[in-house]
Each structure stands twice: as C-alpha cells, then as structure tokens.
Amino acid sequence: MMQKIGVFLSARTNIDAVYKTAADEVGEWIGKTGRTLVYGGSRAGLMEVIAAATKRNGGKVYGVVPQIITQRHLESELIDVCFPCADLTDRKSIMMQESDVLLALPGGIGTLDELFTVLGVSAIGIQGQRPLVLYNVAGCWDHLITLLKDLCEKGFITRQFEEVVSVATTVDELARVITDLENSWQAVIGCKL
C-alpha cells in the first residue's frame, strides 16, 4: 500500500475556498484510510488545512521543516514526526525519500518547483523516483498539463514523464488513481494525462 502520501501545496492564506475545501478533503481521505501525510510542515495556508484534516481523521502527519520555517515560527503544531532540514532543496529531497507517492495540489512557485523537481528526477532516471499525481482542482493545472503535452510533441521532453504523472479532479478519482498506482507502480504505469 502507498502508505505515505507526500503532498506539495500552497502556504498562502488568501486563496479561493474551493482550494481549502480540496485540501481538507484530501487530508480527510489520508486520515480515514490510515495513511500518513508527508508535507512541508508549515502552519500556514493549505498546509495547515491538510494537516488538520489528516490528524482529525486519524492519520499521521510527517513535517519536513526547513530552517526558514522554524526561524519564522511557522512550524505546525500538528506534526507527529518532524524531519528538520537546512533549506527548501533538502525539503524536496527528504519528501521524495519519505513518500510512496507524491501529490501536487494547487500552489504557486514553491509547488511548481517541487513538482518540476520530481519530473526532473524522473526524466534523468534517478533511482528512487516516485509517481506524481496532479490534483487538478477547478482546472488549476490545465495549462501545465497542456504545456507538458506541447513540450512532448515538440520533442523537448520524452514521453517518459507520462509514466510518472497521473491527473485526478476529485478525491474519489484521486483515491482510484492511487489504488491503481499501488497495483501497477512496480511495472510501468500508463499515462493519465
């Protein structure tokens, strides 16, 4: 079972409620299915929403906390297991190591950096790569998906990314995608883009 769900998402607070609801629903699913959330460890924005929902529903919360978060006193109090790290680069590396699958909820530059790091690791075939699921809430990732397909068609990236990236638009679909990945990740998974 893909027990540890690594989640990349926004720490912003002034965003549309649809994204907060989505983070809450994902956290609820993680908790109710007895899984563990692995996330950036901040008490701000969607990060705290997903951690609270996971915890409230019986799940464990692993926080990968860079020094800058600690220095700014932004570390969540909901963390069960803390992985302190030097910086954001270390955080990405630890999250990839500690997670069975990686999930990108809507977010900004930091989230994009994280998901492109996962794609980069996959593109060069580094051992320990993880599947990535884009949770496409309210079409947030539509343009990114189009960009990836376009770059692939133009030959700038290989179709290998399709073996790593799946897309879900609802929590039920997300649960099905992760179940499918549990059954097939040892083999080559199919493109869900």
The average confidence (pLDDT) of the chain is 92
User: Which letter, b or e, does each residue of 118-138 get, where b requires 16 or more Cβ atoms within 10 Å of its Cβ?
Assistant: bbebbeeeeeebbbbbbbbbe
pLDDT in tens, 91-133: 999 999 999 999 999 999 999 999 999 988 877 766 567 899 9
Q: What is the pLDDT of residue 163?
A: 77
pTM comes to 0.92
Phi (first) and psi of residue 39, to 5 degrees: -145, -175
Q: What is the pLDDT of residue 185?
A: 66
What is the CATH code for 4-181? 3.40.50.450
pLDDT in tens, 64-75: 999 999 999 999
Query: Region 150-179: what's the mean pLDDT?
Result: 90
Enumerate the domain spans of the chain. 4-181
